[in-house]
Amino acid sequence: MTPSRPAFAPAEPYRMRIGEAWREARATFAAVDPSTGETWARIPQGTAADVDDAVAAARAAFPAWRRTTPATRQELLWRIADRVEADPDRWARLLATENGRPIREAHVADVPTCAGIFRFFSGVVRDLRGDQIPVEAPERLVYTTREPLGVIAALIPWNSPIITLANKLAPALAAGNTVVVKPSELASASVLEFARLVEDLLPPGVLNVVTGGGPEAGAALVAHPDVAKISFTGGPETARRIMAAAGTVLTPSIMELGGKGAMIVCADADVPRAVSDALTGIYLANGEACIAASRLLVHDAVHDEFLAEFERRARTIVVGDALDPRSQFGPMVSRGQRDRVEACVAAAIAEGATLRVGGTRPALGAPFDDGFFLEPTLLEEPAGTTSASRSEIFGPVTVLERVGDDEEAIARANGTPYGLAAGVWTTDLARAHRIAQRLDVGVAWVNTWFDLPIGAPMGGVKESGFGRETCAETLLEYSAPRVVNIDLGPTRPHLWGDA
Ligand code: NAD
């Protein structure tokens, strides 16, 4: 470990959380600091047997947890938020060390958002209620209750791990379910730290964490017959594998998948403001975000002005150690991810795109020579026909395209398999509504990007997935109606045999 850096150091070796036990694994794998390439912790390599035990623990905890009162669940979720907020510096150092999230972002984004999601679901616990159903028969009482489902399998990615964890855990617990989490191999420590933080708040077995490989621990979890629902955030290819496995045991799922966010800049847009939003849209979280603004569809009339301003500002972005508060941009999460993003840039250039900004590894000097850095990158390809305009790169690469009118912009924005987020920049109110209404996405922004208020549904259409998180209706994803049908009549007609 480089001594001068305030890198996060675990207080004790990481172990998995299964029921009331903290369990070691026979094998471990390395957690690597992306700024330096150094191993900073070891993560347990969970097995199918660990998954079995975790599901059994969650199943055993379910009957008592589902009977807790709304007030109990409200209070516990609120207290979890208090704990998360109690030491933001610690989380910020952990996330920067773990996945390279610039420390200044962890302070303003990850910690408050994670806590805010727990507070939101604490607030809506009492909104989960059934209906009284109007029926024709006068002496019938028919009503529904919302029942929790059972054991939820939560599989989360490495970007923003405590936010994606909160997105699943808070509503699942609020609705009365118990949970087994399988974190990403690249961001397991933050989930284990979270489980440690709330250990004394939640009864044993209500939250279990099995770390390990996706194809091993993850695959065992999603194929487990005692899992009631799968809640997955990650890539579409993994989603296909999971749904195939879940199909064998008929387990339903929520899928929050990738995106190819298109930002439409109209001829009447406030260009400097649109450039600011584009820079945030693509370079926040090092570009490793499902809602990244990875396509910039800019009207002919303002294209050159937009390009000049974007280039000027992108070249001044401070790239450096994720732990340094002066860094505006950190490393990619892993060597593999950096190599993959570089290959996407090379492929786009070979297909005809022009490299305008970045695309190379910055020379930061020791101890960052083995870090997984790549400069913020802008490609230009007016027609938007290269792979970089169609496929999710999941890195700091955006493509500037040139559009002639609104119709062309809308058609291009909708012309990918994804449908997560898109946005339009204009000073014309009617045009803003017209375009927003025709974007084939779950989230459409007007003159802003990356703003996801807690309470507003988050999720996609097409290959960006299904199900909605961070909103009151998410509770419906984690519960099912039970109909109670009561005959209040004093007599009954005799239809069979002698009266
Ligand atoms: P990934 O699909 O590689 O992995 C996600 C999780 O699935 C990890 O925990 C992994 O271990 C597990 N997994 C892998 N193979 C598995 C298998 N066969 N069975 C069960 N589990 C398995 O995704 P990633 O690289 O960690 O994250 C990046 C992706 O996540 C991007 O596509 C991004 O757009 C998406 N994402 C979406 C949202 C959203 O809300 N829509 C948010 C964040 C990230």
Could you tell me which residues come within 8 angstroms of residue 144 by beta carbon, excluding any fewer than 6 positions away?
130, 131, 133, 481, 482, 483, 484
Q: 263 — phi, psi (to 5°)?
A: -110, 120
Q: How far is the CA of 159 from the centre of ligand 1 (A)?
A: 9
Max alpha carbon distance in the chain (Å)? Answer: 96
Q: Is the CB of 222 under 6 A from ligand 1?
A: yes
- 183: preceding bond cis by omega (within 30 degrees): no
Residue 277: band (very low, low, confident or very high) from pLDDT cuts 50, 70, 90: very high
16-257+460-483 and 262-446, same CATH topology? no
pTM across the whole model: 0.97
Residue 399, phi-psi category: left (phi > 0), alpha (psi -120 to 50), beta (remainder): beta
- The answer to whether the Cα torsion of 210, 182, 115, 67 is positive or negative is negative
- Domain-by-domain residue ranges, the chain? 16-257+460-483, 262-446
Residue 499 has pLDDT above 80, yes or no: no
Q: Whose CA is nearest to atom 18 of ligand 1?
A: 215
* CB of 258 sitting under 6 A from ligand 1: yes
Q: What distance in angstroms lies between residue 158's CA and the mean position of ligand 1's atoms? A: 8
CB 184 near ligand 1, within 6 Å: yes
Residue-wise pLDDT for 73-117, tens only, equals 999 999 999 999 999 999 999 999 999 999 999 889 999 999 999
Residue-wise pLDDT for 442-452, tens only, equals 999 999 999 99
Give Cβ neighbours of residue 122 (< 8 Å, ≥ 6 apart). Answer: 73, 74, 75, 77, 78, 81, 170, 174
pLDDT band per the 50, 70, 90 thresholds, residue 4: low
Q: Is the pLDDT of residue 473 over 60?
A: yes
Distance of CA 35 to the CA centre of its chain: 22
| 20-51 confidence digits (pLDDT tens) | 999 999 999 999 999 999 999 999 999 999 99
Q: Is 178 in the pocket of ligand 1 (CB under 6 A)?
A: no
- What's the sign of the alpha-carbon dihedral 267, 268, 270, 276? negative
Q: To 10 degrees, what angle do helices 161-174 and 111-124 make?
A: 10
Closest CA to 287 of 233, 325, 328, 316: 328
- State whether the beta carbon of 218 lies less than 6 angstroms from ligand 1: yes
Q: How many whole angstroms separate alpha carbon 374 and alpha carbon 232?
A: 28
Helix crossing, 111-124 with 88-99: angle to 10°?
Answer: 120
Assess whether pLDDT exceeds 70 at residue 61: yes
CATH for 16-257+460-483, options being 3.40.605.10, 3.20.20.70, 3.30.40.10, 3.40.630.30: 3.40.605.10
Which fold, 262-446? Aldehyde Dehydrogenase; Chain A, domain 2 (3.40.309)
Query: Could you give the residue numbers annotated as active site?
Result: 168, 256, 290, 469
Distance 160 CA to ligand 1 centre (A): 12
